Amino acid sequence: MIPISYFLVLSILLFILGVAAFFIKRDLITMFMAVEVMLSAANLAFIALAKAANSIDGQIIVFFIITVAAAEATVGLAIILLVFRHKKSIKSEDIKLMKG
Amino acid sequence: MGIFIFFILAILCVGSVLGMIISKNQAHNALFLILAFASLGGLFGLLDAPFIAVVQIIIYAGAIMVLFLFVIMMVNVREGIPPEKKKWTLYLSLGLAVVLVIELIFAFKGAFSLTGGAMEKSGPTDLGRVLFTEYLYPFEITSVLIIAALVGAIVLIKRRKEEE
């Protein structure tokens, strides 16, 4: 039987790696992928705690998180494409103005 | 046996996220992320969540990452973007990450001692029953959210008349 704490430590590690990737990388698409990594780390914590509590509610929450992540990905990628169309670049430091 | 599979999947997952940080090519980043999500699906399977494991692989590693790959194909930046030149942003972000680790460990401290037995009801049937009775309103609201995201993406990306 694998202890729940192993999964929680892995979840913390993944979340931190996602945060670090978000700050280190400079292209918008990879920064967006880092956000997905953070969401998945949260999913892992939810499922581990659902098993600890012997309840299925945690899995339902993960179901909703996956749906929200899909919606977020479509809108976010559409915005990235718009930015690329205007600026011809997807570097994060090229986007400094709110209106441009 | 279970712990062996856990360590293989955990190393695969963390390693591919590290590869995503190190690699400069966006398409490689997306492929690394697919590997990370697939191994996370395996971990969900280890935690008695077979349906979520399959959904993770089909939706995350399949659909969402294909969307990313399509956008990478349309954006098509040939040379990779080098990492940040300014050193202080890197040090600042690493310092903040360490603070966040300590904070998260304190937040999870009470949960580390938990032990999980085998889950009694975790099959797709039980999941569906709870989803369509107790969580019916959130489920319906989620469908509205998806419609809004779909329409929003189409409206955002559509070329207007004067731009052509």
Is residue A84 situated within a structural domain?
yes
B13 CB within 8 Å of a chain A CB: yes
- The domain in which residue B64 lies consists of 1-78
Is A19 in Cβ contact with B44 (below 8 Å)? no
- Domain count across chain B: 2
ipTM attached to this prediction? 0.90
Domain count, chain A: 1
Tell me what the mean pLDDT of segment A58-63 comes to: 91
Of the candidate ranges A24-28, A69-73, B89-93, B155-159, the one whose mean pLDDT is the lowest: B89-93
In this structure, what CATH number is given to the domain that contains residue A76?
A: 1.10.287.3510
- Beta-carbon contacts of A44 under 8 Å, excluding residues fewer than 6 positions away, are A7, A10, A11, A14, B40, B43, B44
In a domain, A19, yes or no: no
Burial class (CB in 10 A: 0-12, 13-18, 19+), A19: buried
Residue A41 near residue B34 (C-beta atoms within 8 A): no
Tens digits of residue pLDDT in A4-43:
889 999 999 999 999 888 888 888 899 999 999 999 999 9
Residue B115 distance to chain A (closest CA, Å): 6
Asked if the structure places residue B90 within a domain, the reply is no
pLDDT of residue B82: 62
pTM for the structure as a whole: 0.89
Same domain, B63 and B133: no
- Give a yes or no: residue A6 inside a domain: no
H-state helical runs in chain B = 2-22, 26-46, 50-55, 65-75, 87-108, 124-133, 136-157
Residues of the domain holding A67: 26-91
CB B107 within 8 Å of CB A43 = no
